[in-house]
Structure 1
Amino acid sequence: MTEEKKKNELWEWTKVLLIAFGLAALIRYFLFTPIVVDGESMMPTLEDGDKMIVNKIGYSIGGPDRFDIVVFHAPERKDYIKRIIGLPGDHVEYKDDQLFINGKAYDEPYLDEYKAAIADGPLTEDFTLEDKIQRATVPEGHVFVMGDNRRFSKDSRHIGVIPFDEIIGNTSLVFWPIADFGIVR
């Protein structure tokens, strides 16, 4: 192989690697990114250390839906993972461990496991939106989020409502540990 052919082959491989790294960076920055669940606030749905994929493009196409699991920038300069409970204009209330949105009762099947396991009171304490954010409804451009482990979750009851522009994306795919691989709801 001549010296010029070696240089051309090296240049071709360099271009391929640069394109591959560039595409990987674009995908991670604009489309999907991994996240590691830190803490127990989303148990039993998500375990501490679960690795998930965050869909960053979903909300640029459509808005968030009730009960989506989202990742957002929290006030503590940390990313949190929680479940959307209230959408803009919603009045949120808990009474006797039952969620009411705009006066209508909603089932939360993802909490059934915890509710069945506790015997010393409700999983979610009674509250109204007015108690927590001093407003009757979730403001426009914001969501009210809660962790599934209601007794041990720092969420909108403590940090307030989350602006849409702080939401990184939604997530439902656990890819590690492999035994837990799959979609969570």
Structure 2
Amino acid sequence: MSEEEKDLNETMEAIDPEEYKKMLQQPKEQDHSDLEDIITPIEVKSTRHLQIQQEQLEKEKAKENAAKNAHTAVNEVYDWFESLLMAVVFIVLLFTFIIRVNTVDGGSMTPTLQNGQKLVVTDLFYTPSYNDIVIIQAAKLDGGKPIVKRIIGLPGDTVMIDFEAGLVYRNGEQLPVETKEGYLFEDGHKINSYTNRNIEMLSKTEYTVPENCYFVLGDNRNGSKDSRAFSSIGFVDGNYIAGRAIFSLFPFSTFGTV
């Protein structure tokens, strides 16, 4: 017999058989007092009040969004009107102080400009130069109406015209004349014909352009009243130059830079 079996027999001999039977027959009872103390009744509530609360929150949120959208729409309209007003003010200031629109009256500048043509004119940072197309306006010049001419001579220049040959000289040099693409060009710009009309100017006689004055001609050389007409226009005071024509607006066939 092994040592373990000996120990088990000794243990069984030490237990009273009757007591052992009673112990086996006694019903087992469990003490649930501690568990009852821990577990508390669960109160079951309805979820309807939660749904009502959710609906109220959604309604309030919808009202807030509607108010926010209305405020945004009002702001957009206000911003639109503000932008429109600023644009109008800008255009007014632009056309009052920086640029103006003038209409060509007559055919003195053909073939470059046509009667009724709309020109954008500016005098911003402008210093007159050769071949510029300018708007001239003064009460004593040609009845005070705006006239459109091209600058040929600057202050201090000498100008002479050979009316028989139709050639213009500046500071002793003839302005180059050439024919191309069916047009007559003088000093790089179109003219309608040679300069044969003298008006009040003597042929082959040099004239000196006075200080702060300019000698101007129309591109329609034999159909223009300009600096050759000493009694009505003559040398143009620089203060009478309203600005330089930089752009053609109308007719649309002429739309672009001048």
TM-score tier, shorter chain, comes to 0.7 to 0.9
Q: For residue 248 of structure 2, what is the aligned residue in structure 1?
A: 174
Shift of 1:47: 0.7
Q: For residue 196 of structure 2, what is the aligned residue in structure 1?
A: 124
Whether 2:161 is the aligned partner of 1:89: answer: no
How far apart, in 1, do the equivalents of 2:224 and 2:175 lie?
20
Q: For residue 33 of structure 1, what is the aligned residue in structure 2?
A: 100
1:92–1:128 Cα contact (<8 Å) kept? no
The Cα RMSD (Å) is 2.8
The DSSP-based 3-state class of the residue aligned with 2:152 is: strand
Q: For residue 223 of structure 2, what is the aligned residue in structure 1?
A: 152
How far apart, in 2, do the equivalents of 1:80 and 1:126 lie?
19
The DSSP-based 3-state class of the residue aligned with 1:157 is: coil
Bigger strand fraction: 1
Q: Which of the two has higher C-alpha Rg?
A: 2
Unaligned stretches of 5+ residues in structure 1: 116-121
How far apart, in 2, do the equivalents of 1:156 and 1:84 lie?
10
Unaligned stretches of 5+ residues in structure 2: 1-65, 177-185
How far apart, in 2, do the equivalents of 1:50 and 1:9 lie?
40
How far apart, in 2, do the equivalents of 1:48 and 1:77 lie?
18
User: Which one scores higher on RCO, CA 8 angstroms, separation ≥ 6?
Assistant: 1
Shift of 1:27: 0.7
Shift of 1:123: 3.6
1:93–1:128 Cα contact (<8 Å) kept? no
Shift of 1:93: 0.9
Matches within 5 A, 1:55-134: 55-59=122-126, 63-74=127-138, 75=141, 76-95=143-162, 96-107=165-176, 108=186, 109-111=188-190, 114-115=192-193, 122-125=194-197, 131=202
2:157–2:171 Cα contact (<8 Å) kept? yes
User: Which amino acid letter does the alignment assign opposite residue 182 of structure 1?
Assistant: G
Shift of 1:11: 6.3
Q: Cα distance 1:14–1:181, how it changes in 2: closer, same or farther (>3 A)?
A: closer
The DSSP-based 3-state class of the residue aligned with 2:93 is: helix
Q: Cα distance 1:111–1:24, how it changes in 2: closer, same or farther (>3 A)?
A: closer
User: Which amino acid letter does the alignment assign opposite residue 169 of structure 2?
Assistant: F
1:70–1:82 Cα contact (<8 Å) kept? yes
CA deviations 1:128-151 (Å, max 9, x no partner) are 96x49x994111111111111122
The runs of at least 4 consecutive aligned structure 1 residues that moved more than 4 Å come to 5-15, 126-129
CA deviations 1:86-133 (Å, max 9, x no partner) are 100011111121110111111214345x33xxxxxx54335896x49x
How far apart, in 1, do the equivalents of 2:206 and 2:86 lie?
50
Moved more, 43-52 or 72-81: 72-81
**TM-score, structure 1 length as denominator?**
0.77
Aligned residues: 170
